[in-house]
Structure 1
Amino acid sequence: MSLRSKTLATWLALTGGSLGLHRLYMFGFKDKLAWLHPLPTLAGYYGLQRMELLGQDDRLAWLLIPLLGLMLAQAMLQAIVYGLTSDEKWDARYNGGKASAPSGWAAIIAVVLSLLLGASALMATIAFGSQRFFESQVEAAQELSQ
């Protein structure tokens, strides 16, 4: 088993974590969770494409788009966890106690970017989902009153 780089794992989670690239790097191609990441990510992206094409009234789109936001947020959280793990804990957990290269500033920069992108994705997902939920409630109340 080769040594796993904390910096590389953090950047993979930041750039391709919603597709499971960080899990493929960490645990290999037999990791079942890594292969489950693309499904909700692509479904959310499909919802985004539907909304662009059909507008905001498409109910399937507003059910699928939060999947994309949640997958992005979880990937950013994983990048933050990887990046903030101490080098000693990282080596003990993923490298069998063998010392790897120190992570340095590259991992910290990835953590900062992950915090920015993850918080933005999560806030946008909550705002979008809440807006669509309350709009559907207003529509239902209007239909009942007619």
Structure 2
Amino acid sequence: MHTKNKTVAAWLALLGGPLGLHRFYLKGLGDTLGWLYPLPTALGLWGVERLQSLGQDDKLSWLLIPLLGFTVASTCLTAIVYALTDRARWNARYSTSAESGAGNTNGLTITAIVVSLLVGAGSLMASLAFSFQHYFEYQVEEARKISQ
């Protein structure tokens, strides 16, 4: 087992989390869950592309775009969890030595927490707002059809 740095893992979760880079860093390329991360990311990006080309009336994009937002939010949460893991627990899990400096917290680790909180909360709230807005617009349209 190779020593894995907590700060690097947090930043990989923040910047490359939707592609599973943090999982590959910590568990290797054989990690099945790491290979599943790009799927909702790609579907969400496809939803964004559909929204741009077909407009806001495309119902499939209403379902696909939140996948991207929720994936980004979950990987930001993962980055926060990694960064807040105490040194002893991190070293026991990802280091060859209990006294390794890989589990230390430094300024870059704290910055990863702050940026992850901002990006994660923003993407979660944007995804929820997008989903609820389109859901209620759909409900109003269906009610209008029934009333006519």
TM-score > 0.5, shorter chain as reference: yes
Name the aligned partner's letter for residue 140 of structure 2.
V
Matched, 1:64 2:64: yes
1:125 to 124, 127, 134: 127
Cα deviation, 1:42-86, whole Å, max 9, x if unaligned, reads 100110111111111101111100000000000000000000111
In angstroms, what is the RMSD of aligned CA positions? 1.0
In the TM superposition, what is the alpha-carbon distance from 1:88 to its structure 2 partner?
Answer: 1.4
Please report the TM-score for the alignment, with normalisation by the length of structure 2.
Answer: 0.95
2:81 matched residue in structure 1: 81
Count the aligned residue pairs: 146
What letter corresponds to residue 38 of structure 2 in structure 1? Answer: P
Give 1:103 deviation, angstroms: 3.1
Q: Match of 2:29?
A: 29
Q: Deviations over 1:4-55 (max 9, x none)?
A: 1001000000000011100000111111000000000010011011111111
Q: Match for residue 16 of structure 2? A: 16
Give the TM-score normalised by the residue count of structure 1: 0.96
Structure 1: where are the runs of 5+ without partners? none
Helix, strand or coil at the partner of 1:99: coil
Asked whether the 8 Å contact 1:4–1:100 carries over to 2, the reply is no
Q: Structure 2, unaligned stretches of length 5 or more?
A: none
User: What is the deviation of 1:97?
Assistant: 4.6
Partner residue of 2:137?
Answer: 135
